[in-house]
Structure 1
Amino acid sequence: MIISQLKPAVGTFVMLFVLFIFGCGEQPQVAEQPVQQENTMNDLAERYVKLTLAVGHHHDYYIDAYYGPQAWKSEKQPLANLLLEGQQLLANIEALDVSNTEKLRHDFLSMQTESVLFFIKQLQGEQFSFDEESQALYDAVSPNVSEAEFDQALAELEQLLPGDGPLHQRMAEFTKQFEIPKDKLDAVFRAAIDESRERTKQFIELPEQESFTLEYVTDKVWSGYNWYKGNSFSLIQMNTDFPITIDRAIDLASHEGYPGHHVFNSLMEKHLVNANGWMEYSVYPLFSPMSLLAEGSANYGIDVAFPEKERIAFEKQVLFPLAGLDSSKVDLYYAVQAVRSKLSYIDNVVAKRYLDGQIDKATAQQMLMKYALSSEKKALQRIGFIEQNRAYVINYNLGQDIVRAYVEKLSEGNSQKRWQVFSQLLANPMTASMMK
């Protein structure tokens, strides 16, 4: 029994007995013990990983990647219990006094934990607006873009693609001549991946054992996906539900592979998990601030690896011949793509209005057909993605813009320094607000 739990009279007797044994008036000498902090960053990181994995039992694709100890995986627990655990964890993280060298790690872990708590509340059925969700999960809110801005871009496309019929149909007819034949897909994709890998290796030291497997799948709401398995290995899947145009080869090769998701995860594993022992980076919860950096850097990384002139030259010389396509209209094609990029935020606008209940599914489909220039089926696929992933859509365009602004500000227009800043960001992740 612990002495402090005894009644006062008994406690007094015990104290007198101790004094008698050690000699009257003499106090026993007790060695001073160093004061130990109840929580360390590594302790908190382990609790965070276990909490995140436990939440993953309640959502099929919340855990995008995990390569930590298998023993940390637990049985399914009630969400109410996980919420209490997460709240205590966040309180301990915020109470921890850290040095300047650990501040970035501490702040990132704090924001990731906050996103886990928010996601638990969503799983419990609490309702939030689109902007509240994007702020809590991804540390950012998409800017308001009006239809007037989109209409201006459409007017530019009307000049580039004159003719009769709806613009999205003319766009479909124009891009059809740039579709990669299915029997040429693998050769074109592998050539694009090989080139993006070689370009990345010139500036980023990749792990020696890094590798990937490429698969072609159907019936997905996304066009490509990187399933990172750990030990610098990825499974990269390409969705062939719809025809794939020649420009998407480099887009997907860079975004999913080099210097995109495959490199991002490999560098985190190499530098943070293996070298530093920061186990919080061994788990990747999809709906978290990490995704804004992951998707934003993967999109921006396309331009880092393939500056416009170099990209067009490589496609003309290598990819077009491999695909058996005529490259005579490539300049017009990229002029169209440049204007079309001004419409990228339509995803965010449609998702926000649809999920906030301002428009119905039919209206959302019509908006995507008009402003994203999608076919009926492609628009429905995109709505499926929005329904499944909700505010995640902001990570592609807003994430790209945030990463671009951060890297280009620090690199000051120097292409080699741009690679340096970019690779440092991949190896030392930051959330959106940290990049401001």
Structure 2
Amino acid sequence: MHKLLAGGVAMLIAGSAWAASVQEVGDRYMKLVLAVGQHDASYVDAYYGPPLLQEQAAREKLSLAAIRSEAEAARKALPPAGADTDGDEALRIAFLDKQLQSMVMRVDMLNGKKFTFDEETATMYNAVAPQHSRAYYLELQDRIGKLLGGEGPLADRVKAFRARVEIPKDKLRPVMEAAIRACRERTAKYIAMPANESFVLEFVQNQPWSGYNWYKGDAHSLIQINTEFPIYIDRAVDLGCHEGYPGHHVYNALLEQTLVKGKGWQEFSVYPLYSPMSLVAEGSANYGILMAFTPEERMAYERDVLYPLAGLDPALAEKYAALTQLFGKLAYADNDAARAYLDGKATRAQTVEWLVNVLLYPPEKAEQRIRFYDANRGYVINYTVGADLVGDYVKRHATSADPDTARAQRWTAFRQLLSSPRLAGSLR
């Protein structure tokens, strides 16, 4: 039998339902996320709430069985949204329900229970990725091949061209700082950030990811870029927007400003990585690239600013921009590779072959990507399905025929999304 402490009031939860306010469930949810973090080091992606709660989680070290029981009880205790429930409050209730549901699944996975890729993503991220065969990607590969020209395996031709747009190691910092600055300036035209917002940029190695934002609270982030493998010129804007502006840094800062400080919803001071929240986080970070730059604006900026700064030939910019847009259309091949590999339908060697010859990854990067699958499983759908859902949601709000007005409308919808407890269900 376990006692649930919420708002200083002890409520018996074992064996019976209990009534609670949304705030009480939110408080308990926050403590349970920290409790899961005692069993799964990667589960708590960010926390900037009271240190006392972290200390309590470490001291109590609730068992997985206790966490599961309390999470299910907390879901049942959520009051239903009524006709007079405020819109954001209704979203908050739905948020807590889905987050707690995903927590139960994560606990089951930590206990050794197996799920298929699609079963996992349906509950964990509230979405399922479409599935495509190898033949689906052949037309895209033909277009890439025609754009590149030349002879030989397509993967080799892609690798040779990319070598011409690799950022030299000694140019990485100035190029990345310039890209982040441009992303920040473009975002600032439409989103007012907290006055004290800031970030630190670090370069690291030996990670399964290419970039990461570690949100520290009080509108401050640590942005890390993995330099283990070559970084090509397009990744400067990609990472600058995705990890910084208007991506993860902006998303976390606005949630803190609007929900934690503005509404007192303390549950948003903790971010469980394996949860529906990540579909919106990664989806908005990926779609944020298109919010900051149209394809034409991006190509011009890279050609006129980043290529010279990196010591690369600006004459390559137009062709490489066309190439990267085609690469983007291959993105769902990543989900297909992860699904087949994690469901046991493809071996590691077969998955490497798919990544190299379908997704056109360099062989060494393919191995890194499989390490990401091993570590994060179905998380990969958040970059693709998430970006599509966010993009569809934002574009629905752009009703004006005037391009400038429509762009402002997209930014308004995007800013509201980043400041609210929306999950996939409320984007559809």
How high is the TM-score relative to the length of structure 2?
Answer: 0.91
| Corresponding position of 1:201 | 188
* Counterpart check, 1:377 vs 2:352: no
| Corresponding position of 2:25 | 44
1:415 to 395, 407, 415: 407
Shift of 1:100: 2.4
Deviation track 1:139-170 (CA, whole Å, cap 9, x = no partner) reads 00001122121111111112112223221111
| Corresponding position of 1:321 | 308
CA separation in 2, counterparts of 1:412 and 1:387? Answer: 42
Shift of 1:96: 7.1
| Corresponding position of 1:85 | 70
| Corresponding position of 1:426 | 418
Deviation track 1:356-385 (CA, whole Å, cap 9, x = no partner) reads 111111101100011111122111100000
| Corresponding position of 2:120 | 133
The gaps in structure 1 that reach 5 residues or longer are 1-36
| Corresponding position of 1:33 | none
CA separation in 2, counterparts of 1:429 and 1:247? Answer: 31
Work out whether residues 19 and 78 of structure 2, in 8 Å CA contact, stay in contact via their aligned partners in 1. no
Shift of 1:429: 3.1
Work out whether residues 118 and 136 of structure 1, in 8 Å CA contact, stay in contact via their aligned partners in 2. yes
Deviation track 1:165-191 (CA, whole Å, cap 9, x = no partner) reads 221111010111111111011001111
Identity of aligned residues (%): 47
| Corresponding position of 2:293 | 306
| Corresponding position of 1:11 | none
Compare 260-269 and 109-118 and name the one that shifted more.
109-118
Work out whether residues 161 and 171 of structure 1, in 8 Å CA contact, stay in contact via their aligned partners in 2. yes
Deviation track 1:316-348 (CA, whole Å, cap 9, x = no partner) reads 221111111111121111111122212111111
Work out whether residues 39 and 96 of structure 1, in 8 Å CA contact, stay in contact via their aligned partners in 2. no
| Corresponding position of 1:244 | 231
Work out whether residues 94 and 110 of structure 1, in 8 Å CA contact, stay in contact via their aligned partners in 2. no
Amino acid at match of 1:80: A
Amino acid at match of 2:99: Q
| Corresponding position of 1:171 | 158
CA separation in 1, counterparts of 2:81 and 2:395? Answer: 34
CA separation in 2, counterparts of 1:280 and 1:295? Answer: 19
1:220 to 201, 207, 211: 207
* Counterpart check, 1:72 vs 2:53: yes
Amino acid at match of 2:285: A
CA separation in 2, counterparts of 1:187 and 1:252? Answer: 14
Number of aligned residues: 400
CA separation in 2, counterparts of 1:38 and 1:398? Answer: 36
CA separation in 2, counterparts of 1:228 and 1:246? Answer: 25
CA separation in 1, counterparts of 2:66 and 2:409? Answer: 47
Amino acid at match of 2:417: L
CA separation in 2, counterparts of 1:313 and 1:163? Answer: 26
Shift of 1:94: 5.3
Deviation track 1:14-44 (CA, whole Å, cap 9, x = no partner) reads xxxxxxxxxxxxxxxxxxxxxxx94111111
Shift of 1:95: 5.4
Deviation track 1:120-157 (CA, whole Å, cap 9, x = no partner) reads 11111111100000011000000112212111111111
| Corresponding position of 1:23 | none
Work out whether residues 259 and 298 of structure 1, in 8 Å CA contact, stay in contact via their aligned partners in 2. yes
| Corresponding position of 2:12 | none
CA separation in 2, counterparts of 1:336 and 1:250? Answer: 15
| Corresponding position of 1:259 | 246
Secondary structure at the residue paired with 2:278?
A: helix
| Corresponding position of 1:191 | 178
Work out whether residues 220 and 239 of structure 1, in 8 Å CA contact, stay in contact via their aligned partners in 2. yes
Work out whether residues 293 and 429 of structure 1, in 8 Å CA contact, stay in contact via their aligned partners in 2. no
CA separation in 1, counterparts of 2:92 and 2:277? Answer: 13
Amino acid at match of 1:86: A
The gaps in structure 2 that reach 5 residues or longer are 1-17, 401-405
> RMSD over aligned Cα, in angstroms?
1.3
Secondary structure at the residue paired with 2:115?
A: coil
Change (3 A) 1:66 1:99: farther
Amino acid at match of 2:283: G
Compare 125-134 and 412-421 and name the one that shifted more.
412-421
Deviation track 1:32-63 (CA, whole Å, cap 9, x = no partner) reads xxxxx941111110000001110011111100
| Corresponding position of 1:53 | 34
Amino acid at match of 1:91: K
Compare 326-335 and 384-393 and name the one that shifted more.
326-335
Change (3 A) 1:173 1:98: same
Secondary structure at the residue paired with 2:208?
A: coil
* Counterpart check, 1:118 vs 2:105: yes
Secondary structure at the residue paired with 1:329?
A: helix
How high is the TM-score relative to the length of structure 1?
Answer: 0.90
Work out whether residues 21 and 79 of structure 2, in 8 Å CA contact, stay in contact via their aligned partners in 1. no
CA separation in 2, counterparts of 1:235 and 1:53? Answer: 21
| Corresponding position of 2:139 | 152
Amino acid at match of 1:50: K
Work out whether residues 75 and 96 of structure 2, in 8 Å CA contact, stay in contact via their aligned partners in 1. no
CA separation in 2, counterparts of 1:332 and 1:196? Answer: 22
| Corresponding position of 2:264 | 277
Work out whether residues 105 and 123 of structure 2, in 8 Å CA contact, stay in contact via their aligned partners in 1. yes
Secondary structure at the residue paired with 1:156?
A: helix
* Counterpart check, 1:342 vs 2:329: yes
Shift of 1:98: 7.9
Amino acid at match of 1:306: F
